[in-house]
Every structure is written in structure tokens, then in C-alpha cells.
């Protein structure tokens, strides 16, 4: 059920709060989940929404929003409670992130990179195989990262794209970590590294290569490299179509030393995760679920003559507008339904059907959000796409979703087609 934006559940000060994207009773959420998701929605609507235009215009990082995420505990949303976090599981995080994406796409997308450093090293790693001593060492190390986030408001990013085939999972990462006494020496380059110059730690995926070894995806390491480490630099400019506040510039690592405790996952565990916990790559989609809802919300408000900053002219009486809104509502419900199911069934060793559904969900959200934004512009008309209103930013931000590796829209189609037609190991020879 899509909750009509005109109906509200609460008020904060003078701002009438939007209804949640996923109504807790209708989607059978617990009170604890609802409280976290409501907190994200309130912060998004009452604070982030009004700042979003400036971050977008100037392509600047939402630093102020991160202070608020820290203040409200959301910076540690997926950190276990015993370590001072909110203890949110995958589904709860995804639903909260959709609410943030509804009001500021760039904040939600960068927050995702940050949260993944705790989600992947946390609940996700707990599902994977490690012997007892490796698990104990991992537990000790991740507590260091958790403490930095909870106590100091440290921000982590997740640069893995390199411009070649590695980010799509085809070959080993070209960024190399050479084991040395007490840690690694890292050399390499990451492109489109969101939070460049603003994260305190870059959660870099790289390949461990000891003297005489050859490069292998099995030896992928996930290392939190301090932004201030010697040999780390940020280069290039950032002036893209959308998601401008992500500040996704190029990162260079030149003989950067990182200590052993920088490992966010033990050796071999990232490779295991990519094979056994594929929904780890669906975490870029919540932002765009929120943008899809935002495009719909805007359209309903605009046609009712209720968008702040526009004359109170109603356009809802025209049958063509009503049909367009009906089409948008149907599309939004389809996106919400498949996405909710996919984020609810994220786990280790999913069935083939669940994996295909995860790809289909990613495709539906990433392409669907922009289709809704395009329909919103056509339906609301010229006055609605002025830069003084959020719709044109929603349109540009939503266009970026299907470009995100490793699950771009093209690669999702590729994998669904192949995996639906071939069982593992099957060939036509
Ligand atoms: C706003 C924004 C923020 C980003 N933030 C981050 C970040 O924080 N960290 C990060 O690591 N990356 C980030 N990225 C990068 C993103 O994940 C992609 O790596 C990037 O968009 C790839 O661009 P490309 O042109 O190099 O892709 P290419 O590798 O040139 O691929 C182009 C297209 O070809 C297709 N393709 C690629 N490989 C294959 C294949 N093997 N088989 C079939 N088709 C294929 C895909 O559909 C892909 O979209 C961000 C991107 C954007 C737009």
C-alpha cells in the first residue's frame, strides 16, 4: 500500500511529517525497527531536505548532515548495541536509507558506503566461515572501527571502482597490498570514490600480493586506509550530472602503509562474501527507492497545488494527470513490493530464485526511479522542473543509479538471462 503523501502520522514543530514509505503495521515491522526508520525519516525531512539543493548546486559534501547522523546515532546504525550502535539489521538499515534518499540522494548514497563498512564486517561476516581464532581477531579489530565511528564520528567510504573489469567482479583488483612487517604497503588508484577528501578512512578493496605471487580475486583484502596516511591523495575534479554531493573524485595510493588492524575483513572473507552473500551488492538500491518515492510525492503535491514555493494552483482535475498519477502509483507499488521482498530475504547462501529476485529488484529500483522522475516532469510540466524545486535534482540523481557497479542495469540483465537459462557449470558444448 502506498501511503498518500497528504496523510500524515505526526508533526514536528511546524513541519507536517510525511507518512513512511513502508507503513510499519502493513509491512509487519517491529516497534524497534519503526523507531529507527522514523528517526531517519524525520531527520531527512526536517533537516536534510532543505540543505540538499546547495550540496547539489555546489557539488559539495554534506558535512553538516554527517554531524547530524552522528548526533542521532545513525552513523552507527548497523553497529551492534553492545558496541554503542543502534544494532540495525540489513532490512532495517535498507528501509532507513530509503527514507534518507527520499530527501537527499547524495547523503543517502554516501551514508551507504559508510554503513557498509560496518554491515559487511558485522552481521554479514558473522554468517561466513572463519575458524575460532580468526573470528576472535576479527571481533577485536572491528571493535576498533566501531569505536571510532560511535565515539569520534569517523566516516568510512568504500572505493572499489578502478575503471577496469575488477569492480564488476571479472578480475582481481589492480590496487595491490604488499604484506610487510605489521601491515601492508598499498599502491593503486580508485575512480569515482565517493566521500573523497571527506571520509576519515577509505575502505579500499585491493589484492594482497606477496613476493612471487600472482594476482587472484581470492586474495582480495578490504582495508580501512586512513585518509591522512602518507601516500594517500585525492586528485581530479567532480562536476557530474547528478549525485553531485557525493564528491566522487579519484584516489591515489602511493606506497601507503596500513597496519594489520586496518583489515575490515580477515583474509579470504571478502571473496567468500561476494560468492555467498550476494545481497551485499544490493545496498546501493535503498537511496533510489527513496528517490522513486520522492518523485511520486512531488507529483501528488504539485497536482494538488501544495508544493511550497509554487502558487496554489490545482491541476488534479484533468483526467490525463489522474491517469499519469495512477501509472506512477502502480509503478511505485511494483518497485516497493519486489524491493521489500529482496531486502527482507538477504542472507548467506540464498536460493537461485532469491538471487534472481535480488538482480530484478536492483534493476527495477534503479531504472524505475528515473522512469518515475521522468513521468513526474512530463506530468507536472515546465514550472515544476525549475532548479528552485527538487524535482529536477531527483531526475538527475535517479539517472545515476543504474550505473553503479557491480550490479549495473546492464549487468543485472546479463546475469538474470544467463543464470535463468543455465544451471551452475552447464555449457552448450
Ligand atoms: C554518483 C556515483 C558515485 C559513485 N561512488 C562510488 C564509490 O563510492 N565507490 C566505487 O567503488 N564506485 C563508485 N561509483 C562508480 C560506479 O560503481 C561505477 O564503477 C562507475 O559508474 C563505472 O563507470 P565506468 O564508465 O568506468 O564503467 P565501465 O566499467 O566502463 O562499464 C560501463 C558499463 O558497461 C557495462 N559493463 C561493465 N563491465 C561489464 C561486463 N563485464 N560485462 C558486461 N557489461 C559490463 C556496465 O553496464 C557498465 O555500466 C560511483 C558512480 C557514480 C555515478
The number of the ligand 1 atom at minimal distance from the alpha carbon of 195 is 8
Mutate which of 161, 244, 253, 406 for ligand 1 pocket (most atoms within 8 A of beta carbon):
161
Beta bridge partners of 190: 251
Provide mean pLDDT across the span 137-158: 98
Express each pLDDT in 225-283 by its tens digit. 999 999 999 999 999 999 999 999 999 999 999 999 999 999 999 999 999 999 999 99
Mutate which of 405, 411, 414 for ligand 1 pocket (most atoms within 8 A of beta carbon):
405
Residue 429 pLDDT: 82
Q: Write the DSSP assignment of 48-76 as a string of letters.
A: IHHHHHHHHHHT---HHHHHHHHHTTGGG
The number of the ligand 1 atom at minimal distance from the alpha carbon of 110 is 8
Ligand 1 centroid, distance to 207 Cα (angstroms): 19
212 falls in which pLDDT band (50, 70, 90)? Answer: confident
Mutate which of 61, 197, 404, 409 for ligand 1 pocket (most atoms within 8 A of beta carbon):
404
Residue 211 pLDDT: 86
What CA–CA distance (Å, rounded) separates 311 from 305? 7
Residue 5 pLDDT: 41
Ligand 1 centroid, distance to 314 Cα (angstroms): 41
User: Any idea what DSSP says for residue 263?
Assistant: B
The number of the ligand 1 atom at minimal distance from the alpha carbon of 414 is 43
2 falls in which pLDDT band (50, 70, 90)? Answer: very low
3-state secondary structure of 184: strand
Provide mean pLDDT across the span 145-168: 95
Residue 176 pLDDT: 97
Residue 62 has pLDDT above 90, yes or no: yes
Residue nearest to atom 27 of ligand 1 (CA): 163
Express each pLDDT in 86-109 by its tens digit. 999 999 999 999 999 999 999 999
Express each pLDDT in 282-332 by its tens digit. 999 999 999 999 999 999 999 999 998 898 999 999 999 999 999 999 999
The number of the ligand 1 atom at minimal distance from the alpha carbon of 168 is 38
Residues with C-beta less than 6 Å from any ligand 1 atom: 113, 158-161, 163, 165, 167-168, 170, 192-194, 243, 246, 248, 400, 403-405, 408, 410-411, 414
Contact 198, 210 (CB under 8 A): no
The number of the ligand 1 atom at minimal distance from the alpha carbon of 167 is 19
What CA–CA distance (Å, rounded) separates 177 from 159? 15
Residue nearest to atom 16 of ligand 1 (CA): 404
Characterize the bridge pairing of strands 183-193 and 156-157.
unpaired
Residue with cell 491541476: 315
From the list 126, 128, 100, the residue with the least C-alpha distance to 114 is 100
What CA–CA distance (Å, rounded) separates 386 from 282? 32
Contact 155, 167 (CB under 8 A): no
> In the numeric block, which cell numbers belong to residue 373?
522522475
Provide mean pLDDT across the span 340-359: 98
Ligand 1 centroid, distance to 167 Cα (angstroms): 7
Residue 346 pLDDT: 98
168 falls in which pLDDT band (50, 70, 90)? Answer: confident
Kindly report the pTM of this predicted structure.
0.96
Containing H/E element for 177?
strand 176-180
Contact 225, 204 (CB under 8 A): yes
Ligand 1 centroid, distance to 393 Cα (angstroms): 21
Residue 325 pLDDT: 98
Residue 120: C-alpha distances to residues 90, 264, 379, 396 (Å): 10, 8, 41, 29
Contact 176, 207 (CB under 8 A): yes
Task: Say what percent of the chain tops pLDDT 70.
Answer: 97
User: Any idea what DSSP says for residue 183?
Assistant: E
Provide mean pLDDT across the span 9-37: 87
13 falls in which pLDDT band (50, 70, 90)? Answer: low
3-state secondary structure of 224: strand
14 falls in which pLDDT band (50, 70, 90)? Answer: low
Ligand 1 centroid, distance to 407 Cα (angstroms): 9
Task: Say what percent of the chain tops pLDDT 90.
Answer: 92
From the list 66, 51, 159, 45, the residue with the least C-alpha distance to 393 is 51
Ligand 1 centroid, distance to 173 Cα (angstroms): 14
Provide mean pLDDT across the span 216-222: 96
Query: Cis peptide before 406, with omega less than 30 degrees from 0?
Result: yes
Amino acid at each position: 500500500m502506498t501511503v498518500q503523501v497528504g496523510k500524515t502520522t505526526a508533526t514536528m514543530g511546524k513541519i507536517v511529517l510525511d507518512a513512511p514509505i513502508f507503513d510499519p503495521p502493513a509491512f509487519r515491522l517491529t516497534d524497534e525497527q519503526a523507531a529507527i526508520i522514523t528517526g531517519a525519516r524525520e531527520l531527512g525531512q526536517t533537516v536534510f531536505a532543505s540543505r540538499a539543493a546547495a550540496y547539489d548546486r555546489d557539488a559539495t559534501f554534506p558535512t553538516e548532515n554527517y554531524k547530524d547522523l552522528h548526533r542521532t546515532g545513525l552513523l552507527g546504525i548497523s553497529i551492534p548495541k553492545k558496541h554503542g550502535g543502534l544494532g540495525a539489521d540489513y532490512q532495517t538499515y535498507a528501509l532507513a536509507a530509503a527514507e534518507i534518499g527520499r530527501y537527499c540522494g547524495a547523503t543517502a548514497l554516501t551514508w551507504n558506503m559508510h554503513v557498509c563498512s560496518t554491515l559487511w564486517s558485522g552481521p554479514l561476516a558473522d554468517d561466513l566461515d572463519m575458524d575460532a581464532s580468526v573470528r576472535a581477531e576479527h571481533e577485536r579489530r572491528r571493535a576498533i572501527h566501531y569505536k571510532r565511528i560511535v565515539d569520534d564520528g569517523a566516516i568510512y567510504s568504500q572505493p572499489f571502482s578502478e575503471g577496469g573489469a575488477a569492480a564488476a567482479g571479472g578480475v582481481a583488483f589492480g590496487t595491490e597490498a604488499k604484506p610487510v612487517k605489521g601491515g601492508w604497503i598499498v599502491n593503486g588508484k580508485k575512480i569515482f570514490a565517493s566521500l573523497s577528501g571527506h571520509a576519515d578512512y577509505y575502505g579500499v578493496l585491493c589484492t594482497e600480493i606477496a613476493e612471487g605471487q600472482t594476482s587472484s580475486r581470492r586474495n582480495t583484502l578490504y582495508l580501512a586506509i586512513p585518509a591522512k596516511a602518507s601516500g594517500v591523495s585525492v586528485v581530479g575534479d567532480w562536476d557530474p550530472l547528478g549525485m553531485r554531493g557525493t564528491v566522487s573524485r579519484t584516489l591515489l595510493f602511493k606506497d601507503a602503509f596500513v597496519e594489520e588492524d586496518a583489515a575490515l575483513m580477515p583474509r579470504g572473507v571478502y571473496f567468500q562474501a561476494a560468492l555467498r552473500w550476494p545481497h551485499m551488492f544490493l545496498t546501493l538500491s535503498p537511496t533510489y527507492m527513496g528517490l522513486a518515492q520522492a518523485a511520486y510525492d512531488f507529483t501528488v503535491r504539485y497536482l494538488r497545488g501544495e508544493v511550497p514555493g509554487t502558487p496554489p494552483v490545482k491541476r488534479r482535475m484533468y483526467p490525463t494527470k489522474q491517469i499519469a498519477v495512477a501509472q506512477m502509483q502502480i509503478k511505485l507499488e511494483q518497485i516497493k513490493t519486489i524491493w521489500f521482498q529482496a531486502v527482507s530475504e538477504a542472507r548467506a547462501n540464498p536460493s537461485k530464485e532469491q538471487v534472481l529476485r535480488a538482480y530484478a529488484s536492483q534493476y527495477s529500483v534503479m531504472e524505475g526511479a528515473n522512469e518515475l522522475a521522468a513521468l513526474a516532469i512530463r506530468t507536472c510540466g515546465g514550472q515544476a522542473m525549475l532548479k528552485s524545486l527538487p524535482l529536477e535534482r531527483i531526475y538527475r540523481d535517479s539517472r545515476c543509479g543504474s550505473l553503479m557497479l557491480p550490479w549495473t542495469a546492464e549487468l543485472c540483465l546479463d546475469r538474470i538471462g544467463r543464470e535463468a537459462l543455465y544451471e551452475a557449470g552447464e555449457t552448450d558444448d
